[in-house]
Each structure stands twice: as structure tokens, then as C-alpha cells.
A and B are shown apart, each in its own frame.
Chain A
Amino acid sequence: MIPQLLILSLLIFIMAKQMPGDPFTGLITPESDANRIEELREEAGFYDPWYVQYANWIIGVAQGDFGKSYTYKVPVADLIGERAMNTLWLSLLSVVLLYLIAIPLGVLAGRYQDTLVDKSIVLYSFVSYAIPTFVLGLIFLFLFGYQLGWFPTAGTVDIKYEESTKAYIWSKIYHMLLPAITYAVLGTTGVIQYLRSEIIDSKSMDYVRTARSKGIPIRKVYSKHIFRNSLLPIAAFFGFTITGLLGGSIFIESIFGYPGMGQLFMQSISSRDYSVITALVLLFGFLTLLGSLLSDIIMSIVDPRIRID
């Protein structure tokens, strides 16, 4: 795991340095002084060879110091920490909603295979796969946020509440709801499709036939046997779903003005905030690894035949 992250960090560091422009290009105005900007570049070590810069940076990282954001002028760790929590909570809520939508639909589609119900659900899953996130995001925002006024339209919390009161926490969740719903509605494809074919497969499995021949009512077979067996691999999916959501945050957060990691990434790219870019890619890489590890662990719990080496 560590070597993978090291290679990733080296790769992204070199790439980021290759991008034209640097954090100080953005300071050019007629009132600023070109010499002063040059001086700032030197102070920040921009003219050192890249491997010196990388070495300095990675030594810092090893000590938990990700450097300082050039645009925000605060330690990168502080900057990301603030937003990482926002993104994580949003992702978590999205996952919960996603499973709430996807599992019943997947089960229904599988159980009533080739009926109208199944066909509509499959159509929905494809359509949601095809709709670009930002189109649905904007429609939801305009309709439910502005026109109907059911949800707040930007930010993570209403400024009028005192921190860590009940109202404050509720306000936070309330602000997450609309983006999370958008997420969930669009992200169900994989789970629905997967669950559906699992269930279709299970129907012809021996244990189901045995159960049926013993006279167990069909409802019970579904709820006790098939559903459980199909759900286990879905659980294994969990880690990937979370990391997938983190990637999707880039779109959702910019539409809903939700200050999280995705939004921060886009901004760091345009302002060439190298230290933040590198740290974020590294963090996402780490989370992906963690996700797949989580999936492996769940897998090995549900299915003892699979062992992690």
C-alpha cells in the first residue's frame, strides 16, 4: 500500500509541475509588481529542481505536514480536513439513500423478471446512467431548491445556528439532503443491475428449489433465502461505492455550492495550488485503497473461501 501511494505521489507531483502557470500567475494585476511576484516564487522554492521540491514535500508528508496552500495560505491538512468531513458526511448520506432506493428496486426487478415492473426499473437504471449529473443536479436545484423552496440552495449550514446544538446538526443534514438525493437517484444503476441478476440466478439454485419443494411459501423464500444470499455480495460492493461517490463529488459539489474536496480539487487545478492538488490525489488514492480493502474484508467475512493474502 505504501509503495503504491509513493509512486502515485511522485507521478502526480511531476505532472502537476508540468502544468503551465503557477500559483503566482494569478496575482498579476496592474497594481502588483512583477519583481515582487518573482521574489515570492523564489521564496516558495519554485526554482529548485523538481526532485528537491519533491523530496522536501514527501519528507514533510511523512511527518504529517502536507505543506501550505498557496491560495489559502493555511496548512493543507487544515484546509482539507475541513472539507473532507463535509464530503465524507455527504457521501455517507448518499450511500444510505442510494441503497434505500436501489435494493427494493433491484429485488423487485429480479423477482418479477420480464414483467412491466422489471422493464420499467431496468429502463430507469439505464436512464439514470445516461443523464449527466449536472443536468439533473441543476433541475433539482431549481425545482426543489428555488422554485418550491423545500431545500436550502448552497453551503453546508445556516449561519444563524450555534455550533454543536441540535438545530445546527439538523441544519447540516438538511443542507446535504438535496445533493445526496441527486447522487442517490443517479448512482443506482450498478446495484440494481447486480442485485437483479443475482436474484434471477438464485431462482434456479438448488437451495431455492429445495426450499420450494419443502413447501415454504414463495414470499418467505424470497425474504429469507434469496434476498439474504444476494445481498451479501452487494455488501462487498460497499467500499467501491463509497470511493465512486468521492469521485462524483467533483460534479455535485460545484452545482450545489457545497464546499467539499471535489470543489477544492477543481479550484486547486485552476489556481495551480500544487500542494493541495497532490495531497488531494493522494488522499483519494488512499481512500480508494481503503475502499477495496474494506470490500475484501467484507467479502472474507461473508464468504470464508476468500482470504486476503
Chain B
Amino acid sequence: MSKKLWTMLVLLIAPMLVLGACTGNDDSSGPADLTKFPLVVDNEGEAIEGGTLKVALGTDTPFQGIFSWVLYEDSYDADIMGYASNVIFETDGEFLVNDQGIASLEVDQANNKAIVKIREGIKWSDGQALKIEDLIQPYLIIGHPDYEGVRYDGDFQNIIGAVDYHNGKADTISGLKKVDDTTLEISFTKLSPAIFSIGDGLWGYAEPSHIMKGIPVGKLLESDAVRKNPVTLGAFKFDKIVPGESIQFARNEHYWKGAAKLDGVIVKVVPTSSIAKAIETGKYDMTAGSLPATTYPEVRDFENITILAQPELSYSYLGFKLGKYDTTTGISTMDPQAKMADVKLRQAMGYALDIEQVNEVYYYGLRSRANSLIPPVFESYYDETLEGYTYNVDKANEILDEAGYVDTDGDDLRETPKGEKLEIKMASMAGDPIAEEMTTFYMQNWADVGLNVVLSTGRLIEFNSYYDKVQSDDPEIDIFMAAWSTGTNPSPAGLYGKESAFNFSRYTTPKLDELIAAIDSKKAFDIDYRANAFHEWQLYMEKNAPVIPTQFRTAIYTINDRVKHYDVNLETDFDLNQIELTAEEPIK
């Protein structure tokens, strides 16, 4: 038996060694130096004629295949549609609409109106001209009584006449007015600076009315116009779709910036467990969307790629449950008796976390300690002077001692100022490959300052249950760790307002309402005023710590060496039609 077991061992290990030898065992787990990641890559070599770009879509589930900007829900569908986009506005580095796109935007603040003008001579991929009706069409779909998507929201109802149309009282939306063949006028109930980042109900995509008109809204989801052969304004058009697994794009000859140099693009689903291998062996040129930060150690030593990095529009945070949301009135109220009601306790918990170590060891520096609830990408609003809650055990201990949280029964755990046992229940989400280690580590951090933190259900909670529990103010949750992606409009109204169901900490004060209102007020059309309002809000949130920002994130992209030029910079006007390849197949 022992002899055979050895044979078996060899059989098992041999393939490992083969594989290991190919990747190299270099384990220099030092953090990545963010400055070494470029935003742009230029590869040597003569460009070939045409060629097909191969893109890997890293996911363990098939994409849904809803190729419509008004209907899609799956971010993978959005990644795919990026190659055949119907976007009409272009934005600058701060996500404000500029005049480089198909349409330009003019805002009439006095009358709460937006005037959208489109360029002349723009064509859909089927050769039809872009009309102003194509800009109205998406509004008519979203507002329709039969519409099944999520985009009929509070913002959308800001358009005058949208509610009547949705309730079937009107045949069309009265706030939309075709002025002439290239001009659309939209009337809103109120306007805020968010209109410049395509907020307040303004819609950023066109829909081909010559096709969509003939399809009842209730049937749209199943229609071929959405599933099989959507028409686009983008650099590429849908050529062939194998549902759930791959898509072939062909060059759109009618693209308004000029036909693409590539013949086409192929996007294919690749399971996340083998995506690094796929990149290494030159099966693909790049990934659709970014790679998860935890994949970085797998790809960093590959010689056939360049890694580009770009800051993400998101932050992770630690939230404290401080009240309840009343679903009937739609208003959050604070509970002064909440376990986490003491601001000192919250602050101490922030200082006690060694997030720096987690970022360095597990995220290779691709995540950094956040000091604010506004990601630094929003340069004019982000307040870099905020200190944030950096790791400081002494300070945490000091604050807790001062606030009266001391250990009275000698079990190394602090009791409340009233002398009661303190057990803090934390909800933490499963999913991230290191979620478990990270959560355990944070709980140890808190134990180090004498705080007894336990997991809410005894284990990590998977996505659906997690948000279900957090949103319904489950009494089993005192604190929670989560993340928000801010979108292009950083206004905190949707996440921290009194009336927002997503204000998960349920922290609300008159002062906070005032600060948030100022950010979206009319006065805030003045950029300095708005920036200042943002600064004050950030400062207030830091001082009161209803949520403590923990991490800013950086997204990484891998680009194969045969791609001549690629650019993830938000400010430059790099476009897909410029992509060129230098070889027939991706380089291994």
C-alpha cells in the first residue's frame, strides 16, 4: 500500500509541478506601487490590417443577454454593451457633460429646463438617421405602465408629466418637447447640479424609435430587437450571439467618429477560476470590465500583458445601526438607546481597525485607507485634508476609557458605562475570496481594544440575505461592513438622506439634512458653493461617524501586448474605433 500511495502522490503532484513551473514561484508579496501602473499603454510593432479583439468576460454565471440600456440589470450586460453603446453624451474627467458627444446639453436654470441638441448626420448601425424621436423613445419606454425595469424611479418622476404617463392618464410625457429636428427640450419639476452628470431624470442613451415603436413595451424584454439583433450607435454592432456564452461584434460602418480599424470583437464568458490562466496563455487580449483586486497576484508576473489601473467610483465602509426606517412614512428615525448611539464608541471602533495591514497584505495596495465618503476621483468635491480614522490602538483605548467603557469584571472585555456586558453584532458579507480572513482579523482588532464583536448569524452572510437583513434593520445587526458604488453623481442624498431607504445606518439630524440639501440646491450651480457644501458634509460625517469609510478601491485591467494602444483614462477621448492590433493572435 505504501508504495502505491507514493505512486499516487507522484501522480497527483506531477501536474502541479508542471503548472507551477510555467508560472514561476516568485512570491514577493509586497504591495503594488500604485504609481507604477499606467493609465495608458503603447505597444511596439506595426499594426495589422483589421483583426479581431478577443475579450474575456470573467463570470461564473452566463450573462443575461438583455442588450438595452433601459432594461438591463446585469452589469455583465452593461460591459458587453460597452462595445455597441447608445450613449449620446460624453463627459469629462469629473463626469460632467461636455460637448464632444453626439448630443450637447444646455441647462436653463431659471425655468428648470434642459435643452439637448444632437449633431446632424449621425446614423444607426442599420443606416437609419438618428432622429430626435430616438431621444424621446427611452423616456416613453421607462415611463410606460407596462415597463418592468428598475429605472422608473424618483429621479425619473422629476420630469414633468412622467407620473401621469406612468399612471395611464396621458398618452405621452408632457415635459418632453421636440423643438426642431435636432433639438429636444425637457422640463423638470426641480433642477440640481446633478443634471450636469446626467442626473435629475435626464437620460443618457438613445433608442432606435424606428424599431422600438412597433414593439409593445411589455414584450420588449423578449423581443429580438433587445435579445438578438439590437441596433446601435457605437463603434461595433452585434453580429452573432450564442446566448449566455459568447458574442461576436462586427465593425459599424456608420460609426459617427469613423469606422473602427478592427474587423470586430469577440466577447466570451470565462469562469473566474481560470481567468488568469486564460490571460497568461494568450487566449484573450483583455477583460470586459476590470479584474478583481484579489486576482492581481495571479497576473502580476505575466510577461505578455501590461497592467493598467484606474481609481474606482466606490468606497467600502463600516456602518453603525442607529435607528429604524419606517416603511410606511418612508422616513428614518434615530434611536437614542441604540447600542452604537455613543459617537465615542463609534470613533474608537474606527481607530481600532488595522485596515492598512489588510490593504497591504491582501489587496497589494490596490485598496487604500479611505478618509472620506467621496472617492478622490471627484477632484473638486473630495476633501483630502480629512484625517479619517487611521489605525491607532492607543487613541482607541483612550477614547473608550474616557467615554466610560471600561472592563469592570476582569474578562479583558469592556463593559458599557452602565456596567453592562457589551456584545456588538456585526454583519459581514460573503463573496470576496478573503472576506472570511478579513472579517476575523477585524474582530481580532476590536478584541485587542477590549470590544467583544461577534458575527450576526455566526457566519458570513451571502449577498441577498445580507442586504435583506441590513435594509430591514434586523435587530441582530449592530454594525455592518459594506460598500457603495457612487455612480457618476456623488450627491449623498440617495444614500444618507432622511427619506432614503438606503440610508442603512438610519442616522439623521436636521443639520445633516441641511448639509445635504445645500449640495443639491440651486445655489450649488455655482461650482465653488457646491464644492464647499461637499466639504462641510464630509467633515460632519467624519466627526459624527455614523459610517466610517474604510477603503478606496483601484480597478486593474490587463492588456495584451498585441494591442497597439489602449487608454483607461477618464479624461482623454480615446475611443474603441482607434484600437489596433500588431499580430494575428494574442501574444502568449
Bound together: yes
Which of A's residues lie within 8 Å of B, judged by CB? 19-22, 25-38, 40, 43, 71-74, 82, 119-120, 123, 127, 138-139, 141-143, 145-147, 149, 153-157, 159-160, 254-257, 259, 263-264, 266-267, 270-272
Chain B residues closer than 8 Å to A146, beta-carbon distance = 274, 277-278, 280-281, 283
Are the C-beta atoms of A22 and B464 separated by less than 8 Å?
yes
What are 22 residue pairs bridging A and B, where the CB atoms are less than 8 Å apart in the complex? A21-B463, A21-B464, A25-B467, A25-B468, A30-B502, A33-B152, A33-B155, A36-B151, A71-B64, A138-B273, A139-B15, A142-B19, A154-B269, A154-B270, A159-B242, A159-B246, A257-B271, A259-B244, A263-B60, A263-B61, A267-B62, A270-B464
Q: Which of B112-120, B481-489, B538-546 interfaces with chain A?
A: B481-489
Distance in Å from the Cβ of A200 to the closest Cβ of chain B? 21
Known: A25-B467, A120-B4, A146-B277. A159 touches B244 (CB 8 A): no
Are the C-beta atoms of B469 and A20 separated by less than 8 Å?
yes
Known contacts A31-B153, A33-B154, A146-B277; 7 additional CB pairs below 8 A are A33-B153, A142-B19, A146-B278, A149-B281, A154-B268, A270-B462, A270-B464
User: Within the complex, which residue of A29, A142, A263 is in contact with B485, where a contact is CB–CB below 8 Å?
Assistant: A29
Q: CA separation between A27 and B72, bound complex, in Å?
A: 11
CB-CB contacts of B323-347 with A at 8 A, as 1s and 0s? 0000100100000000000000000
- Contact of B245 with A by CB under 8 A: yes
Are the C-beta atoms of B246 and A155 separated by less than 8 Å?
yes
Chain B residues closer than 8 Å to A259, beta-carbon distance = 62, 244-245, 269
Q: CA separation between A159 and B150, bound complex, in Å?
A: 32
Q: CA separation between A271 and B148, bound complex, in Å?
A: 17
Chain A residues closer than 8 Å to B277, beta-carbon distance = 141-142, 146
Are the C-beta atoms of B245 and A30 separated by less than 8 Å?
no
Q: CA separation between A28 and B482, bound complex, in Å?
A: 12
Q: CA separation between A40 and B73, bound complex, in Å?
A: 13
- Contact of B299 with A by CB under 8 A: no
CB-CB contacts of B275-319 with A at 8 A, as 1s and 0s? 001101101000000000000000000000000000000000000
Chain A residues closer than 8 Å to B31, beta-carbon distance = none
- Contact of B266 with A by CB under 8 A: yes
User: Within the complex, which residue of B15, B62, B246, B248 is in contact with A263, where a contact is CB–CB below 8 Å?
Assistant: B62
- Give the most central of B64, B152, B155, B271: most A CB within 10 Å: B271
Known: A30-B487, A270-B463. A40 touches B150 (CB 8 A): yes
Chain B residues closer than 8 Å to A138, beta-carbon distance = 273-274
Residues of B433-476 whose CB lies within 8 A of A: 462-469, 471
Are the C-beta atoms of A26 and B463 separated by less than 8 Å?
yes
Are the C-beta atoms of A154 and B245 separated by less than 8 Å?
yes
Are the C-beta atoms of B283 and A74 separated by less than 8 Å?
no
Known: A147-B18, A149-B281. A30 touches B274 (CB 8 A): no
- Give the most central of A21, A27, A123: most B CB within 10 Å: A21
Distance in Å from the Cβ of A220 to the closest Cβ of chain B? 33
Distance in Å from the Cβ of B587 to the closest Cβ of chain A? 15
Distance in Å from the Cβ of A164 to the closest Cβ of chain B? 14
- Contact of B494 with A by CB under 8 A: yes
Q: CA separation between A38 and B328, bound complex, in Å?
A: 12
Q: CA separation between A265 and B367, bound complex, in Å?
A: 33
Known: A30-B485, A123-B4. A256 touches B281 (CB 8 A): no
Chain A residues closer than 8 Å to B245, beta-carbon distance = 154-157, 257, 259
Chain B residues closer than 8 Å to A120, beta-carbon distance = 4
Chain A residues closer than 8 Å to B64, beta-carbon distance = 71-73
Known: A25-B467, A37-B150, A267-B61. A82 touches B4 (CB 8 A): no
Are the C-beta atoms of B281 and A147 separated by less than 8 Å?
yes
Chain B residues closer than 8 Å to A40, beta-carbon distance = 148, 150
Closest to A131 in B: B12
Chain B residues closer than 8 Å to A36, beta-carbon distance = 150-154
Are the C-beta atoms of A254 and B271 separated by less than 8 Å?
yes
Q: CA separation between A183 and B200, bound complex, in Å?
A: 54
Distance in Å from the Cβ of A34 to the closest Cβ of chain B? 3
Chain B residues closer than 8 Å to A123, beta-carbon distance = 4, 8
Chain B residues closer than 8 Å to A266, beta-carbon distance = 60-61
- Contact of B221 with A by CB under 8 A: yes
- Contact of B177 with A by CB under 8 A: no
Residues of B481-518 whose CB lies within 8 A of A: 484-487, 494-495, 500-502
Known: A73-B221, A159-B266. A32 touches B274 (CB 8 A): no
Q: CA separation between A25 and B73, bound complex, in Å?
A: 12
Are the C-beta atoms of B271 and A255 separated by less than 8 Å?
yes
Are the C-beta atoms of B19 and A30 separated by less than 8 Å?
no
Residues of B116-160 whose CB lies within 8 A of A: 148, 150-155
Are the C-beta atoms of B242 and A153 separated by less than 8 Å?
no
Are the C-beta atoms of B274 and A141 separated by less than 8 Å?
yes
Known: A40-B150, A254-B60. A159 touches B271 (CB 8 A): no
User: Within the complex, which residue of A28, A71, A153 is in contact with B471, where a contact is CB–CB below 8 Å?
Assistant: A28
Residues of B1-48 whose CB lies within 8 A of A: 4, 8, 15-16, 18-19, 22
Known: A123-B4, A159-B240, A159-B248. A28 touches B269 (CB 8 A): no
Known: A153-B274, A255-B273. A34 touches B281 (CB 8 A): no
- Give the most central of A127, A143, A155, A263: most B CB within 10 Å: A155
Closest to B156 in A: A33
- Give the most central of A22, A146, A257, A259: most B CB within 10 Å: A257
User: Within the complex, which residue of A27, A30, A155 is in contact with B494, where a contact is CB–CB below 8 Å?
Assistant: A30
Chain B residues closer than 8 Å to A160, beta-carbon distance = 248
Residues of B235-258 whose CB lies within 8 A of A: 240, 242-248
Closest to B495 in A: A30
- Contact of B222 with A by CB under 8 A: yes
Q: CA separation between A241 and B374, bound complex, in Å?
A: 57
Chain A residues closer than 8 Å to B103, beta-carbon distance = none
- Contact of B479 with A by CB under 8 A: no
- Contact of B66 with A by CB under 8 A: yes
Distance in Å from the Cβ of B220 to the closest Cβ of chain A? 10
Distance in Å from the Cβ of B11 to the closest Cβ of chain A? 8
Q: CA separation between A123 and B502, bound complex, in Å?
A: 57
Are the C-beta atoms of B150 and A74 separated by less than 8 Å?
no
Q: CA separation between A252 and B467, bound complex, in Å?
A: 30
Q: CA separation between A251 and B230, bound complex, in Å?
A: 34
Known: A21-B465, A32-B153. A157 touches B242 (CB 8 A): yes
Are the C-beta atoms of B468 and A156 separated by less than 8 Å?
no
Closest to A140 in B: B15
User: Within the complex, which residue of A27, A33, A143, A272 is in contact with B15, where a contact is CB–CB below 8 Å?
Assistant: A143
Closest to A135 in B: B12
Are the C-beta atoms of A35 and B154 separated by less than 8 Å?
yes
User: Within the complex, which residue of A30, A74, A256 is in contact with B221, where a contact is CB–CB below 8 Å?
Assistant: A74
Distance in Å from the Cβ of B145 to the closest Cβ of chain A? 11
Q: CA separation between A182 and B34, bound complex, in Å?
A: 41
Chain B residues closer than 8 Å to A149, beta-carbon distance = 281
Are the C-beta atoms of A34 and B501 separated by less than 8 Å?
yes
Known: A20-B469, A40-B150, A139-B15. A74 touches B502 (CB 8 A): no
Distance in Å from the Cβ of B248 to the closest Cβ of chain A? 5
Chain B residues closer than 8 Å to A264, beta-carbon distance = 62
Are the C-beta atoms of B467 and A21 separated by less than 8 Å?
yes
Q: CA separation between A73 and B218, bound complex, in Å?
A: 11
Chain A residues closer than 8 Å to B74, beta-carbon distance = 71
Closest to A254 in B: B60
Closest to B271 in A: A257
Are the C-beta atoms of A127 and B268 separated by less than 8 Å?
no
Chain B residues closer than 8 Å to A119, beta-carbon distance = 4
Are the C-beta atoms of A74 and B247 separated by less than 8 Å?
no
Closest to A256 in B: B271
Chain B residues closer than 8 Å to A142, beta-carbon distance = 15, 19, 274, 277
Chain A residues closer than 8 Å to B486, beta-carbon distance = 30
Q: CA separation between A31 and B203, bound complex, in Å?
A: 13
Chain A residues closer than 8 Å to B280, beta-carbon distance = 146
